[in-house]
Amino acid sequence: MKELRVENLHVTIADKEIVRGLSLSVPCGQVHAIMGPNGSGKSTLAKVLAGHPDYQVTKGNVSLDGENLFELEPDERARRGLFMAFQYPSEIPGVTIANFLRAALQARLPEGEELDATDYYAKLYEKMELLGMDRAFTSRSVNEGFSGGEKKRTEILQLAMIEPKYAILDETDSGLDIDALKTVAHGVNSLRGPSLGILLITHYQRLLNYIVPDYVHVMVAGRIVRSGRKELALELEERGYDWAREEEGEMALTR
């Protein structure tokens, strides 16, 4: 089955366990949201899936369309079709967006094959238009001196250009005003379709008004404590994370 599958994942950083037995499946073509309070391990999950070297996986499996991700380097995972939109994207001084994306797409071509420059720019301009970005942006250095909103838009632009099989959006809504949020959501929605699975990580329900998920999971203290359809997000909004925490406590008692 085509899916991004996480089974009983345990992750530690500096001997502290952050993810404690998490299981999840995002089938291709669906949008799953993970909601949770600060410190619940959401961003850790995203980084571990992408292969960040600071985290130790102590237990569990993650597979992408059946292939074990943990046997792959971060760049190999990316080329297999996994994309992560960063909460805090890095600056790359002196490297323009156009050159960076070109290198990223070139890295996906077979040895000896060259990216067609004309097609590339046509696609780049089309995607920029979709995200309401000025063409002059292509000659700016990646994330250098960008506002929060510009950084997030650039992440979504990269998502649109790279066309992965699975995308993890880590707190893409944070730091965005309502107009920027709408633009970003519009960009993501236009990419939705049967060939893309999306894992949306967010603290707030607000984003889910604009990118409506197929499923919602609530993450507390390193585990998924509740899963449901999109209505769960509203319920959570109304009753707060304390309610979810109680559930977690109950689960621990009844186990």
Partner 1 sequence: MKTETDTKAVDINRNIGDFSYDVAHAYDAGTGLSEKTIHYISDVKEDPDWVREFRLKGLKTFLEKPMPTHWASKDLEAIDFDKIRYYLSGGTQAKRTWEEVPEDVKRTFERLGIPEQERRFLAGVEAQFDSEAVYSNIKKAVGEQGVIFVGSTEGLKNHPEIFRKWFGKVIPIGDNKFSALNSAVFSGGSFIYVPPGVKVKHPLQAYFRINAENFGQFERTLIICDEGSELTYMEGCTAPKFNTATLHSAVVELVALKGAKLQYITVQNWSENVFNLVTKRGLAHENAEVKWIDCNIGSRLTMKYPSVIMKGRKARGEVLSIALANDGQHQDTGAKMIHAADETTSNIISKSISIGTGRATYRGLVHVPKHLKNCKNNTECDALLINATSRTDTYPAITVRGTGNAVQHEASVSQVSAEQIFYMQQRGLTEAQAMSLSVNGFVNDLVRQFPMEYSVELKRLIELEMEGSVG
Q: What is the dihedral of CA 195, 163, 77, 113, to 10 degrees?
A: 120
83/241 with CB nearer partner 1: 83
Q: Specify the length of the chain in residues.
A: 255
Angle (nearest 5°) at CA 18 between 64 and 85: 50
d(CA 124, CA 76): 23
Q: Could you say whether residue 90 binds partner 1 (CB under 8 A)?
A: yes
Q: Could you say whether residue 93 binds partner 1 (CB under 8 A)?
A: yes
Among residues 6, 48, 83, 166, the one that binds partner 1 under rule CB under 8 A: 83
User: Pattern 125-164, binding to partner 1, x per CB under 8 A?
Assistant: ----------------x----------------x---x--
Q: Could you say whether residue 191 binds partner 1 (CB under 8 A)?
A: no
Q: Could you say whether residue 74 binds partner 1 (CB under 8 A)?
A: yes
Instruction: Name beta bridge partners: 169.
Output: 85, 200
d(CA 173, CA 88): 12
15/114 with CB nearer partner 1: 114
Q: Could you say whether residue 86 binds partner 1 (CB under 8 A)?
A: yes
Q: Could you say whether residue 122 binds partner 1 (CB under 8 A)?
A: no
67/246 with CB nearer partner 1: 67
DSSP line for 5-57: EEEEEEEEETTEEEEEEEEEEEETT-EEEEE--TTSSHHHHHHHHHT-TT-EE
Residues of this chain, 96-115, that bind partner 1 according to CB under 8 A? 99-100, 103-104, 107-108, 114
Q: Could you say whether residue 94 binds partner 1 (CB under 8 A)?
A: yes
